[in-house]
């Protein structure tokens, strides 16, 4: 197989396209420093007391499992153990639910002081928490208590698969009948951007032994599902969809909008790590062609997945640029370099809505510089 999981080799597309290695490292380091330790109007990492920290959604002034788990992944990729442990301590202290219908899951949103805004979870947080914890275990070794990273990761995944079995309260995060991740546990539809088959391949290596076959099947199911969810001409995916891939037509969730921007990035990283699905290259090329040809000059708007333009500004235009660039890890089309160059020349976003854009920006920097790695 040709993926980095098998070869241990990670492409540095910036270097392939002529950028200087020192300049690449400087760009990555400056983004980290800005997001974690920059001025108040630019960072969104905040330390609390002696041993905790949260990642703020600056548009909504809360901390979300999405952002907390993203930040932990950023830290383990950069070998920032202190920051990782602070974030995990805050997450386990204030977001994890010990009791109630959703016990064992994490509340998807809390206030900066840790007060829960909701008692429901969002599955993208759980899958990123688990993956970051496994990487931490392999990079730094397991510690005591909540810092026994591999034990914590396995416990999260056990809940995701088995919750609600044998008459116990709660709902699993993956639909048992088709092994597709749900948008939230107590619903019957999904979010295309939650589908991370490259994570599930690794869960199949490291989760509880009795669940490893489930994760292998989940990886295959998610790849097949994305074939159906992404439009055959544009490659665009809706924000939410039914399990058969058809768009979820409620509250405008059938559009290519904020959540959906993560799909091209996920295609790129899955192809980079495992290289199992050539369709991903075709889809990434379609997405890049759509933005570089079809809507060139209008690439910061909202779209139907068939490419129809909705004359409204996208809420996260920098995220579109970043994830289109990350798709270049899969694309073999003529716009691969153009998308990477546009991203290279785009600065981190400023202002209240910077959080989501800059999270995806930093992930794209890691992936395109060969620094978004599997830690075994």
- Residues with a catalytic annotation lie at 66, 259
111 phi, psi to nearest 5 deg: -75, 160
- C-alpha to C-alpha distance for 102 and 318, rounded to whole angstroms: 34
Buried b (16+ CB within 10 A) or exposed e, 66-100: bbbbbbbbbbbbbebeebbbbbbbbbbebbbbeee
- C-alpha to C-alpha distance for 175 and 167, rounded to whole angstroms: 16
Q: Tokens standing for 120?
A: 């429901």
| Complete DSSP assignment for 28-61 | HHHHHHHHHHS-TTT--EEEETTTEEEEEETTTT
* CB 108, CB 132: distance < 8 Å: no
Looking at the DSSP bridge assignments, the partners of residue 55 are 45
**CA of residue 81 relative to chain centroid, distance:** 20
Element (H, E) at 16: helix 13-16
> Starting from the edge strand earliest in sequence, which strands make up the sheet with 301-304, in order?
255-256, 301-304, 309-313
Overall size of the chain counted in residues: 376
- C-alpha to C-alpha distance for 215 and 105, rounded to whole angstroms: 19
Buried b (16+ CB within 10 A) or exposed e, 324-354: bbbbbbbbebebbbbbbebbbebebbeeebb
């Amino acid at each position: 197989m040709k993926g980095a999981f098998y070869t241990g080799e990670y492409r540095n597309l910036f270097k392939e396209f002529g950028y200087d290695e020192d300049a690449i490292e400087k760009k990555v380091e400056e983004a980290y420093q800005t997001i974690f330790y920059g001025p108040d109007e630019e960072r969104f990492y905040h330390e609390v007391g002696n041993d905790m920290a949260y990642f703020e959604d600056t548009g909504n002034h809360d901390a979300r499992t999405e952002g907390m788990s993203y930040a932990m992944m950023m830290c383990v990729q950069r070998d920032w153990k202190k920051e990782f442990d602070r974030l995990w301590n805050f997450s386990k202290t204030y977001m994890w639910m010990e009791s109630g219908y959703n016990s064992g899951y994490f509340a998807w949103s809390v206030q900066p002081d840790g007060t829960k805004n909701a008692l429901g979870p969002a599955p993208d947080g759980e899958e990123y928490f688990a993956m970051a914890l496994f990487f931490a275990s392999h990079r730094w070794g397991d510690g005591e208590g909540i810092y026994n990273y591999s034990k914590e990761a396995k416990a999260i995944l056990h809940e995701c698969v088995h919750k609600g079995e044998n008459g116990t309260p709660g709902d699993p995060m993956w639909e048992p009948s088709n092994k597709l991740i749900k948008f939230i546990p107590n619903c019957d539809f999904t979010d295309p951007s939650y589908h991370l088959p490259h994570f599930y391949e690794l869960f199949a290596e490291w989760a509880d032994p009795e669940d490893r076959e489930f994760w292998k099947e989940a990886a295959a199911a998610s790849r097949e599902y994305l074939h159906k969810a992404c439009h055959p001409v544009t490659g665009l995916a809706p924000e939410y969809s039914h399990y058969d891939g058809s768009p979820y037509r409620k509250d405008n969730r059938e559009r290519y909008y904020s959540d959906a921007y993560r799909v091209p990035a996920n295609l790129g990283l899955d192809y980079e790590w495992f290289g199992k699905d050539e369709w991903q290259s075709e889809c990434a090329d379609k997405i890049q062609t759509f933005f570089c040809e079809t809507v060139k000059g209008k690439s910061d708007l909202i779209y139907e997945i068939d490419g129809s333009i909705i004359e409204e500004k996208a809420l996260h235009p920098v995220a579109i640029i970043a994830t289109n660039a990350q798709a270049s890890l899969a694309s073999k089309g003529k716009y691969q370099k153009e998308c990477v160059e546009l991203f290279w020349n785009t600065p981190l976003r400023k202002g209240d809505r910077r959080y989501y854009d800059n999270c995806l920006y930093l992930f794209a920097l890691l992936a395109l510089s060969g620094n978004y790695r599997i830690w075994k």
